[in-house]
Each structure stands twice: as C-alpha cells, then as structure tokens.
Structure 1
Amino acid sequence: MREGHRVCVYAIIRSDHRLPVEARGVGNPPVRVRKVDGNGVAAVVSDAPGDLRARRRDLLAHQDLLLGLAETGSVLPMRFGSVAGGDEAVLKQLRDGEQRYAATLRRLDGRVEFNLKASPDPDALAAVVREDREVRQLSAAARRRPGYEANIRLGQAVAAALDRRAAQAARDTLETLVPLADATAAGPDVPGCVLNASFLVERGLREAFRDAVAAMTDRHRDRAVLKLAGPLPCYSFAASGAGEPVEA
C-alpha cells in the first residue's frame, strides 16, 4: 500500500499471531485485512473505505474480525473507526507503545469479556405492592381518594421501590460473579439501568459464568432484568489500569 493512504486499524496482536484465513474487514465488498509488523507486536489493518461510517454491516464486520482473532490469541481491540495515515504512522504507534501493548496482551491472554446490564423488572408491580409498606399505603390512599397528586405520589413510590429492588439484585449478582472473573470494570451510565458492568473471564470459565448469570436471573426474576452479552472483544480491559472494582 502507498504511504499517505488512510488505513483502518482493527487490533493490535503479537507478531506471530496468524490472521484467520480469508479475514475481511469493513467495506462493500469487504476489504482484505493484513498485518503491519512491529518488533514483537503487530497491527491488523486494511485500506480505509472512502465512505467509512458506522453502518450496521461494518460494525458487525469489525466485531466479527476481532472475535475471530480472539479465537487464536490475545487481542487488543481498537474502536470502530480507528484510522491512521498509512503504514508508517501505524509502525510509529507500535514502536512508541511496544512495551505497553505487549504487557496488555499478556494480561488478556486466554480471556474474554462479558457485559451485564441490570434494570428494574417492569412486571414486578404485584411483588412491590405485596412487599413494600409505603407503596401499599399509597395505593390504598389512591383508591380511597383518587386524584392527580395521589397518583403522582404512588407512581414515584413505585418507581423508587422498583429501583431499590433492582439495585439489591444487582449487588447480590455482583457478589456471585466477581469471584468468577479476573477483573471487573464499570461501564457508562445507561438510562433505565442500575448496573452496567464488564467482566474479564478466562475462556475455560465461559459456561460457568453464563450458568451463574442464569441462576441469578431465576433468583431475581421479580426484582431485576439481567441482560448478558458476550463473549466480546476485551474493550473494557484494553487500557492500562483498566479493571477497577465495580459497585452497584
């Protein structure tokens, strides 16, 4: 490739990490990917399409490539849309960060990421009325003297009770899952969620981790909705120092 052309950067891997056969990246048709080798570490790149945008097709192609790479070695994933000004720019980045990249790849060896989100169960109203004294009292008052203010107070109390129950379920779930992970990381706040956390899990413990989440889902069925995604590329643990304890 001629220097000066932009390249998409998908991941950083070890130099001896082989690319999947017929590996492809973004674009229509999908472009072939290749390695730019540094000293011990390499970048997985492709020519950058001129109209690169966050289309579903290209987002999936980016993630599928990372998951394919992770099947045969550790991967330091780049965010979709990471673009460099040619192979020499990539090589400079590899040289500048060689030791840091190598250390992160060692830390991610044999591991995958799972993400868990917890939100209040919208179908738990009957359980809230049964178990929450304040909600029962406000519900009875609203039936005796219906009106706008009574309904507002009842709605606020129900929403607060749903959030408390979901937060309790999230804390219990974390206590179960954290021992199964090598590291945890808090994700950004998500509207409607009381927990957004990622877990770095040994590849051999994937099924045990899924089973533990399934058990927590059953245990807290009337308290929280648990949504598990993964295995995923280890985005949340790629940065230096990533993996701080998470609280709910």
Structure 2
Amino acid sequence: MRNKEPTEYNHINDWGLHFNPNFDKYTNVVSSDIYGFHAPILNISSKEGTNKMLETVGYVSDYIKSTQNKNNKDNKNTKNKNKEAYLTVHLHNGIPPEYDKLLENLSSIVEYAKEKNVKICVENLRKGFSSNPYNILKVVENCDCNITMDIGHTKYENRLDTVDLFAEYIHNVHVYENEVEGKHIAPKNLDNLKPVLDRLLNYKKDFWLVELMDNTSCQNTKNMLTNYIMKYD
C-alpha cells in the first residue's frame, strides 16, 4: 500500500497489492521478490520533469540496493536477486506534452534506468495525450520501454482492443473495477473484469497490481483473483 504518512521513498511507493500466480506469497509492502514503484506525476517533455524523473530512478536504484544488502546480511545463506524492478511513469501531468521533446527526454530516462537495472513502464491515462493507446504505443516503440496497462483508465468497451494493442509491451497491469471522479472502485465481483483478465492471460500477462487504497479492498480483490486463476483454463 502507498504510505499515508511521508517517508523517504513515499513519492515512489507503489499503490496497491502485487499479485502473480507464480509467487508463493502476497504482500502489501515492497518485498525482496518485487520492487515496484510509481513515479511522481510530472511532465516529461519539460526539463524540470525529466530531471525529477532521473532523480526518482536514482531513488529506486538506491532503495533496491539498500534492501538487497539488508536482506543479504539477514539471510547470509540466501543470495537475494532482484526479480522485478520497475518504475511506472505518467508521461505528463495534464499539460499536453511536446512530442519530440517527450521522446528525447524519455529515451534518456530509459537509458539511465537500464544502467540502474530499473524497467521503465509507461501508464495509459484517462485523459489527454496518454489516453490515446496509439500515442502510448508510439512512445514505447520509439523509447524502448514497457507499458503499465491500467484497466480502470480504459473504457469497458475498449479494454480488449487495448490489451491486443499493448500485449507485446505490457510488463504489469493495474487491476480494479473502474476509476470514477478520480477514485478507484473495487470490483464487487469479476463479471466485468473477467473478459479482459482472460485476454491478458492468453498473452501470459499475469503480473498484476491491485491498485486500491485500502487493505481490505485489496485483499478481497486479491482473493477473487486467486479463485479466478485457479479456475482459469
């Protein structure tokens, strides 16, 4: 869960509960198994936004190193490896980006992140430039990065087509029912989500983040996903 009180890394903590059927434990804190973060919302086509994003990549890298070192000291017989290290980014903060500058700046961020062993994942948004899936696709193709697909940012009727379009580049998926007036709504059941979850699994995209604000909703949704996965053919 994203912390409510400020911490050194509060602005880059991921928001929700990681879920993957291949993991034998699920936790609402960043663990030695998964290093997942959400960057602050910035305009990457600006110099200021780019510098802040580079700084954020540095924070992520430092956090990973310090956590791994601690785990290695606590567990001397276990060699701790970073299995998942990613940073989800918004391309803009509501201000229409300058496209050429966006590509130039994001490319530099991606290259720096690769040096730091951090995977950059661009998130589709509800409004503006990043709400057009073809814009997202062009950016990730040009900048050699990945996609965080946010299901709730996509209209129900467009979700399957969006999965098909993004499939090659999806690294992780934000899973919840829908976003309404800025609030993430937890699913009461998986009736509406099942078609898009089926399509994701057809592409073997099973690394998901239940992006909800309270632990009870996260756990309830995770339990539904667990039952769904067990029955999936």
TM bucket (normalised to shorter chain) is under 0.3
Question: Which has the greater radius of gyration?
Answer: 1
TM-score, structure 1 length as denominator? 0.22
Structure with more strand by fraction: 1
Q: Relative contact order, CA 8 A, sep 6+: which one is greater?
A: 1
TM-score, structure 2 length as denominator? 0.23
